[in-house]
Amino acid sequence: MARTIRTVVAAAAPAGPATRRLVLTDPDGWELPSFRPGAHVDLHLPGGLVRTYSLVNDPAESDRFVIAVKREPDGRGGSILLHDAVTEGDEIGVSLPRGGLPLCGRHQTFVAGGIGVTPFLSAARALLREGRRDFVLHVVSRGTPPLADEIAPLVEEGCAVLHDTRAAARPAIADLLGPQHPDRRLHCCGPLSLIADFETATADWPDDRVHVERFVPPPVTVPPEACAYTLVLARSGREIAVPLGVGMAEALERHGVRVPCSCGGGICGTCRIDWLEGTPLHRDRALQPAEREHALLACVALSAGPRLVVDL
């Protein structure tokens, strides 16, 4: 079972169109675990739902986690619950923060679509606190963006630019990014269409200078080397037969072994577990190559061999 900490909803209020901002604190006023700019946390909600959100606030604020939730009427239920059922004073289990944005390099360009601005607000606050103004945040939205009150000071500082697609067509992503330079780093988060255009515009950039944050999993395919396999749980010695094409988390769930999952598409990292033997097929968009040498994301992982041993 993933480790969680107790938090209480200290504040909950609208923060833009269909957006709600939640402030989570320790029930007894203790400091919360530290986090990197743009890190994520998993919220463990009633009914067994686990949902992943970026932290919006400055990592220097050790007394709170701040998230912003867009209400998705056609989503999987987590955002509706956080909008309609969660109130101030409610307790929510929260995972330890993980991940964050790589802010190496002398200049950062952030491209955000709508609620995709959340991780970049955390990064912007951290950079400004360090006295760095070598970044620009482009926010693309139809009308007023989410968290407009938090974006406005960045616009006044000359560090953010708003692009209202109701007033004018969205600018070409390549025009927002500018020319390649060894000290420039690019970041994007938003709808799939924005990410697709961003990836096209950065196709000839080195991979280590481009970072994409996703909140909608891209389609995943079954690679030709995938096969049916036996999943071995190392701690108990239990063996589970996994049919071809079935994700590991689904196979475990079918046999009464629950691994916390959120996105279901290999982008959030909630279902990360260690593997010990075998040849996993990762298919995720979250783990770095070095991490894949010992870890996998169970929601999308398959196997290229007849036996795969995991640390469960």
pLDDT in tens, 160-196: 999 999 999 999 999 999 888 889 999 999 998 999 9
Question: Do 74 and 111 fall within a single domain?
Answer: no
CB-count burial class (<10 Å; 0-12, 13-18, 19+) for 208:
exposed
Residue 43 lies in a domain: yes
Residue 224 lies in a domain: no
Question: Do 183 and 258 fall within a single domain?
Answer: no
Among the candidates 213, 243, 272, a domain finishes at 213
Among the candidates 95, 125, 146, a domain finishes at 95
Q: Which helix (H) or strand (E) holds 160?
A: strand 160-164
Residue 218 lies in a domain: no
pLDDT at 15 exceeding the cut of 50 = yes
Q: What is the model's pTM? A: 0.79
Give the domain CATH number at 150.
3.40.50.80
Q: Which helix (H) or strand (E) holds 195?
A: helix 192-201
Question: Do 111 and 91 fall within a single domain?
Answer: no
Residues 137, 110 contacting (CB under 8 angstroms): yes
Give percent of the chain above pLDDT 70: 98
Give the domain CATH number at 69.
2.40.30.10
Average pLDDT score over residue span 17-36: 96
Residue 183 lies in a domain: yes
Residue 55 lies in a domain: yes
Question: Do 72 and 117 fall within a single domain?
Answer: no
Residue 57 lies in a domain: yes
pLDDT in tens, 215-268: 766 677 888 999 999 999 999 999 999 999 888 998 998 998 988 887 788 888
Boundaries of domain holding 240: 229-310
Question: Do 87 and 111 fall within a single domain?
Answer: no
Question: Do 132 and 193 fall within a single domain?
Answer: yes
In the predicted model, what is the mean pLDDT of the chain? 92
Cα gap 282→248, rounded to integer Å: 11
Residue 28 lies in a domain: yes
Among the candidates 60, 95, 130, a domain finishes at 95
Question: Do 112 and 208 fall within a single domain?
Answer: yes
Coil/strand/helix, residue 216: coil
Q: Specify the pLDDT at position 2.
A: 55
Q: Which residues contact 204 (CB under 8 A, 6 or more apart)?
A: 180
Domain count, the chain: 3
pLDDT in tens, 107-116: 999 999 999 9
135 or 269, higher pLDDT: 135
